[in-house]
Chains A and B, each alone.
Chain A
C-alpha cells in the first residue's frame, strides 16, 4: 500500500501531470494523422524519455499510445482513412455510419468503448502481472527458454502475412541480435573490428529507424497532399452511449477479453486484436447481415479490443521481458535504459514505478473521454495538417533525438540503416513485428539455451524435466506442428474429395 501512495504522489506531481497532458495531445495528434502510427508516437518519444525520470518517461509512453489508438478512429470515421493500423478493421463500418448521418454515434462509440476496453485491460494488467511475476520467480532457464520460443513462434504464426516471410523477418531480427559480444561466449561477432559494434546494435536507434524513419522514406516516394474535405457535421458524440452499453454488454466484455489476450500474445498488438474481434463480433452477432452497412456493434467490440490490447501487451513485457507488441518492444528498451530490467523481479525491485504504470494507465483512459471529445472537434484542422511540413520535422527530430541519446554518430547510422531495411521489408510484404521480437529476444534466447545446455550437460531432454518447462515445451512444439497437421489434413481431405 505504501508503494501505491508513493506512486500516486509521483504521478500527481505537477511536472508528471503536465507531461501526461502534453503526451496525450501529442498522441491524439499522431493517431489522427493518417500514416503516423501509435508505435511511431512512442519511437519519437524515446529520445525525450531518455532524459527523464522513470515515472514521467513511462507516463509519456502509456498516455500517448492510448490516445493515438483512440484518435486513429477519427479519420477512419470521417474520411474512410484509418489514422493508425488498429482502426483499419472497422474503418468501412464507421464511414458507412457517417454516410447514414450517424457520425456522432460512431465517434462516440469508438471513444467511450475505447475507454472501457482500456480500463478493462488495465484491470487485468494490475491483477495478473504481479501474480504472474510471483509465480515466475521459480522459473529457471528452461522455462524462460520455452517462453521465448513460444513468444517468437506466436509472432510468426499469428501474423496475417505469409509464414515464410514472417520467418525471414524473424531470422533477420535474430541475426541483428547476434552482433557484438553480448553472448555467453563473450566473443565479438560480426563487429568487423568496429568498436561501436562491440555492445551490439543499439536497440533504441533501431526502433526509431524502424518505426519513424521508414515512414519518412515511404512518404518521400509518395509525396502528394490531397485536401481532405470533411462534410460530416459532428454534434454531441456522447448521446445514446448508455443505451449502447445496455444493448451490447456481451460485445463489450468479449471485445475487452479478446483484446487483452491478443495483446498479451507476443507479436500481435492492437491491430490484430481489432481485426479478430470485429470478425468474432460479426460471427456471433444476432444481426450479422447488418455488418458492413454502418452498424455500430462491430465498432463497440473492436474499439474496446484495440485499447485493451494495449494494456494486455504490457503483461508479458513487464513480467518476462517478452514484448506483447511493437510498442512494448520499445518500452522494454527504455526500461533497460532506466535500469529497470523487466522480469519477474521487477515488482520487487521497482514497485513504485510499477504502481505508477498502473495509475497512469487508469488516468490516461479516463482523460481519454474529454480529450477525445476535443480531438473530434478539432479534427477538421488536424486532418488537414500539411504532411510535407510534418515529415521534414519528424526527420530532424529523429536525427537530433537519436544523436542526443549517446552523442554517437554511429547510432544515427544504425537508425538510417535499419530504417532503410524496414522500408524495403514492408514494401515487399515482409512483416516487421517478428524482426522486432527477434532483435529484442535474440540475446535472451541464446543465453537461456546455452546456460540450460551447460546445466543439462548437453542432454536436450532436460528441457522437459521440470513440470512447467515440460508443459511450455509441449505447447511450443504443438504451435510448430499445428500448421503441419493442418496441411496434412487438408491434403488428406483433398485426396478423398478427388476420389469421391
Chain B
C-alpha cells in the first residue's frame, strides 16, 4: 500500500506533536537535569523535522509532475482484501477459541480456513492442516514442553 509522501509527512508531523506534548508531562527528577522527558522530546523534534522534509519532498515531486500513487490493485479484489484481513482475524480467533476448543481443533480449523482462502484444494487443505497441527503440537507440547491447551480434547489427552 503506497502512500503519498505528503500524507506520510503530515501523519508523522501530527504524531510527533502528540509525542512532544506527552513528553512534556513527564515529571523532572529533583536535582537532575535530564529526566524521562529528554529523549522522547528529542525524538519528537527529530520526527517533526523529518516530516517537514517529507512534505517538502512530496510537494517538489508533485511540482515536477510525479503522479500520485494509485490505490493498489489488490484493494479492488475482494479476495485479496479478505486474505489480508484474515491475518489479524486469525490472531483474534486463536485467543477467543484457543482455551475452550483446545490447541489441536483450533489450529486445524484455522489452517483449513486459511488454506481455503488462499486457494488450496479441499483434500490437500484437510490433510496438511491435520498433519501440521499434530506436528506443531508434538514439537511444542512434547519436545519443548509448552503447556498448549487441550480444551475439548481433554478427555483423550495424550
Contact = CB atoms under 8 A, between A and B. Distances in A.
Contacts of B118: 223, 388-389, 391-392
A454 B34 contact: yes
B2 to A, nearest CB: 6
Contact of A428 (B8, B35, B103): B8
Contact of B47 (A47, A171, A409): A171
Interface string A23-51: 00000000000000000000000011001
Interface string B54-89: 100100000000000000101000001001101110
A428 B114 CA distance: 27
B8 to A, nearest CB: 6
B43 interface: yes
**Quick one: which of A48, A185, A190 has the most chain B CB within 10 A?**
A185
A164 B43 CA distance: 14
A389 B124 contact: yes
Interface in A403-450: 403-404, 409, 412-413, 416, 419, 424, 427-428, 442, 445-446, 449-450
Interface residues of B, number: 58
Contacts of A217: 84, 87
Given A185-B29, A396-B132, A427 B2 contact: yes
A427 B26 contact: no
Contacts of B51: 168
Given A168-B12, A220-B84, A424-B1, A189 B40 contact: yes
Contacts, number: 147
Contact of B128 (A48, A389, A428): A389
Given A220-B83, A393-B132, A396-B136, A183 B36 contact: yes
Interface string B125-141: 00010001000100110
Nearest to A164: B53
Interface string B96-107: 000000010001
B152 interface: no
A187 B90 contact: no
Contacts of A164: 50, 53-54, 57
A393 B131 CA distance: 11
Given A389-B128, A427-B2, A454-B32, A399 B12 contact: no
Given A48-B139, A51-B146, A185-B29, A223 B90 contact: no
Nearest to B81: A221
Main SS class of interface, B: helix
Interface string A167-180: 11001101100100
A22 B114 CA distance: 27
A171 B87 contact: no
Contacts of B53: 164
Nearest to A170: B46
Contacts of B36: 183-185, 187, 189
A392 B144 contact: no
Given A388-B118, A389-B124, A453-B34, A397 B136 contact: yes
Interface of B: 1-3, 8, 12, 19, 22-23, 26-27, 29, 32-36, 38-40, 43, 46-47, 50-51, 53-54, 57, 72, 74, 80, 83-84, 86-88, 90-91, 94-95, 103, 107, 110-111, 114-115, 118-120, 124, 128, 132, 136, 139-140, 144-146, 148
Interface of A: 47-48, 51-52, 164, 167-168, 171-172, 174-175, 178, 183-185, 187, 189-190, 213, 216-217, 220-223, 386, 388-389, 391-393, 395-397, 399-401, 403-404, 409, 412-413, 416, 419, 424, 427-428, 442, 445-446, 449-450, 453-454, 458
The 6 closest A-B pairs by CB, nearest first: A392-B114, A388-B118, A51-B144, A187-B36, A185-B36, A220-B83
5 contacts: A175-B47, A223-B119, A388-B120, A393-B132, A396-B136
Given A220-B80, A389-B124, A399-B90, 16 more contacts: A51-B145, A168-B50, A168-B54, A171-B46, A178-B40, A185-B36, A220-B83, A220-B84, A222-B74, A223-B119, A393-B132, A395-B114, A396-B132, A404-B146, A449-B39, A458-B33
